[in-house]
Amino acid sequence: MAKILLTGGAGYIGSHTYLALIEAGFDVVILDNFSNAKDDVPARLKDISGKQVHVYQGDVLDRTLLDDVFATHKIDGVVHFAAKKAVGESVAKPLDYIHTNVGGLLNLLAAMDGAGVRRIVFSSSATVYGDTSVQPIPEDHPCTYTSPYAFTKIAGEQILEQLPDNWAIGILRYFNPVGAHQSAMIGEDPEDTPNNLVPYIAKVATGELTQLGVFGNDYDTPDGTGVRDYIHVEDLADGHVLSLKSLIETNQSHTVNLGTGEGSSVLDVLNAYSEACGKKLPHQIKPRRDGDVAVLTARPEKAKATLGFEAKRSLADMCKSSWAWVNGQRRNSN
């Protein structure tokens, strides 16, 4: 069975991808520095999958550790999640973001090349498209960065594009990943007050936060609030399995959007979450947030044509799964 290394595999998307890969019959090794993942995630993954979890606690910047992983395991492919991902934080700490996100990728690629492992799936982001009126966005839309975080994703993609043809590369541009695993045993678990919409609403639903601030209702959208392409994290994980399978079977590289092609407004999400948790969630209209765009939705056709990928889960499924996770966490902590 093919063995896959997940860098950042204990994180939100990494842990869900771990379970999808195990389910698909892959063997998986996790490397994570746990800077943005709880220590008990591997134990939860073992409980859910029923399998021993191979975890290295460490950093993609540690070349010695990477060489040890590749010397110990015959790795057939790598999914590279390990990176910093907060847009606002990247503006405050651009060098940290470039060091970790670009330096970490370069270190990983050198270790892979040294071990003769030349198959990689790269975690990219819709943020590479910048602020554009072209909606939904196709993959051939020009890329332009609007933050140091977005710069590191464009830089990562362009570094990968320099590699010779004996590399097989899957570049996956995520839109807005939300929701939690069907087991309600893993999910998004931000340390402090969330910046992103759904984890913030989740804390309003549990009572940890009092109300949702809606960042602007004067956008050129049906209800005036921002529209995004939310995708269930389990659909996103399935997309990674299909990307790896395609690289293994064809050795052909691809760059695809992972989104649903459907846009939902902030108020659509708030209403769906109210339905999921059975209570009306309070909100207050606030000024627009710097850097926000009105609409950001994916053209999903290329992922379907190239990988056979199609998002299956609805906004209601996303909110129900998120509520089951956070409500379960609250019950267990009491």
Q: Which residues are catalytic?
A: 149
The amino acid occupying position 166 is: N
169 — phi, psi (to 5°)? -125, 125
Is the separation of the CB atoms in 160 and 120 below 8 Å?
A: yes
- The strand ranges marked E within 85-141 are 119-125
Is the separation of the CB atoms in 244 and 77 below 8 Å?
A: yes
Residues in the chain: 334
Q: Choose between 84 and 181: whose C-beta lies nearer to ligand WQD.
A: 84
Q: Distance between CA atoms of 90 and 84, rounded to whole angstroms?
A: 8
Least Å from the CB of residue 317 to ligand WQD: 18
Q: Choose between 121 and 212: whose C-beta lies nearer to ligand WQD.
A: 212
What residues line the site for ligand WQD (CB under 6 A)?
85, 87, 125, 127, 174, 176, 195-197, 200, 212-215, 226, 228, 266, 289, 292, 296
Q: Choose between 3 and 200: whose C-beta lies nearer to ligand WQD.
A: 200
Q: Distance between CA atoms of 302 and 153, rounded to whole angstroms?
A: 20
Q: Distance between CA atoms of 49 and 265, rounded to whole angstroms?
A: 35
Least Å from the CB of residue 266 to ligand WQD: 4
Q: Choose between 228 and 320: whose C-beta lies nearer to ligand WQD.
A: 228
Q: Which residue sits closest to ligand WQD, CB atoms considered? A: 226
Q: Choose between 9 and 199: whose C-beta lies nearer to ligand WQD.
A: 199
Is the separation of the CB atoms in 323 and 188 below 8 Å?
A: no
The radius of gyration of the chain from alpha carbons, rounded to an integer in Å, stands at 19
Least Å from the CB of residue 75 to ligand WQD: 25
Least Å from the CB of residue 228 to ligand WQD: 5
Inter-axis angle of helices 266-277 and 315-333, nearest 10: 50
Q: Distance between CA atoms of 105 and 102, rounded to whole angstroms?
A: 5
Least Å from the CB of residue 167 to ligand WQD: 24
**Tokens describing residue 133:** 């009126």
